[in-house]
């Protein structure tokens, strides 16, 4: 059960800066490494087995370079 939940939460983040991974935390809310989202530019595509793909401009809610964490929607 935990493996299925983790698989559903995993996302692929694609943008002009390359690919990265992250977690789907809730409706439209994602956690990734700061270096992943920082290099993406104006638009990203988030792919998930749970909800398919969504494309748009990320709104950074929290970002910390030292912790290498970013929260976005």
Most confident stretch, 6-10, 31-35, 36-40: 31-35
pTM of the predicted protein model: 0.86
What percent of the chain has pLDDT above 90? 64
**Residue 3 predicted with pLDDT over 70:** no
Instruction: Identify which of 67, 61, 73, 3 has the alpha carbon closest to the alpha carbon of residue 35.
Output: 67
């Amino acid at each position: 059960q935990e493996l299925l939940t983790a698989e559903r939460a995993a996302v692929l983040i694609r943008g002009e800066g390359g690919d990265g991974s992250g977690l789907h935390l809730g409706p439209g809310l994602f956690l990734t490494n700061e270096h992943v989202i920082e290099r993406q530019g104006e638009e990203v595509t988030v792919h998930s087995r749970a909800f398919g793909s969504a494309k748009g401009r990320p709104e950074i809610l929290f970002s910390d370079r030292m912790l290498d964490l970013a929260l976005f929607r």
